[in-house]
Structure 1
């Protein structure tokens, strides 16, 4: 399975893509989110977390590094590593504890945690394309391949 590239026009479409991904992931796995500031990583994450059934606000964890969500029996963790100064800080916050088989981890700016993060199931790269966005989904293993096949 190769990567899937989608054109996404507008915030509502990005949220809808996140909701579709929520259905496919069943709140399990690791997804890396890459793209410039303002590309739509947090918007996609909001759609995904709401797609899992969360009804409250979904805010960017820029200052806290991680925002946990418990939705019934589902667990999701939204990381934003933009402000991370040293990847070793992840070790001090117990990063490994978050990557359980029964949780979904969304990680913005994953390059900043290099060496301390597990291999993702899927890497999503969002780039500006005119008024919309190009979203490239690159599977990194069998789970990511199943998700991409379902979206293709």
Structure 2
């Protein structure tokens, strides 16, 4: 069951993410796709707030990954925008991290579709002409279908 949600503000986008944060478990992966400025990092900030992470995430574009601890679960925030080749995922321990003890959020995940886990929640954020955002949630796997159903 896919789901589309509209968001008229940063706060609404973050509230959607907070709802999802209440339902995630260790090893969960959320893939975020959308144009520059669509709201991927704002979504991640909402997810961190929902996980009760004390630090507000910033875009990891130049660092590739940030780790946020101190909340209900560790949050691993990847930004694959600057990576050129899928081999670089090994260099940053991408596979080991997404199978780990926290929740992984992967911005620009569509750059490396073969690296996406079989079970995940894929979210695409589109910007409408009036600047409203549409978040399209596509669950892969029963656990993520349950998450989408719970927030529908």
TM-based fold match above 0.5: yes
Structure 2 partner of 1:148: 148
Aligned-CA RMSD value: 1.6
CA distance, structure 2, for counterparts of residue 35 and residue 62 of structure 1:
14
* Runs of at least 5 residues in structure 2 that lack an aligned partner in the other structure: none
The more displaced of 63-72 and 76-85 is 63-72
Q: Distance in 2 between matches of 1:123 and 1:114?
A: 11
Q: CA deviation at 1:37?
A: 0.6
Could you tell me whether the CA contact under 8 Å between 2:52 and 2:72 is conserved in 1? no
1:29 Cα deviation from its structure 2 partner: 0.5
Partner Cα distance (2:119, 2:33) in 1: 12
CA contact (8 A) 2:69 2:75 kept: yes
Unaligned runs of 5+ in 1: none
Do the aligned residues in 1 keep the contact of 2:53 with 2:71 (CA within 8 Å)? Answer: no
More displaced stretch, 9-18 vs 108-117: 108-117
TM-score of the aligned structures, taking structure 1 as reference length: 0.91
Moved over 4 A (4+): none
1:137 aligns with 137
Q: Which moved more, 1:11-20 or 1:23-32?
A: 23-32
TM-score (norm 2): 0.91
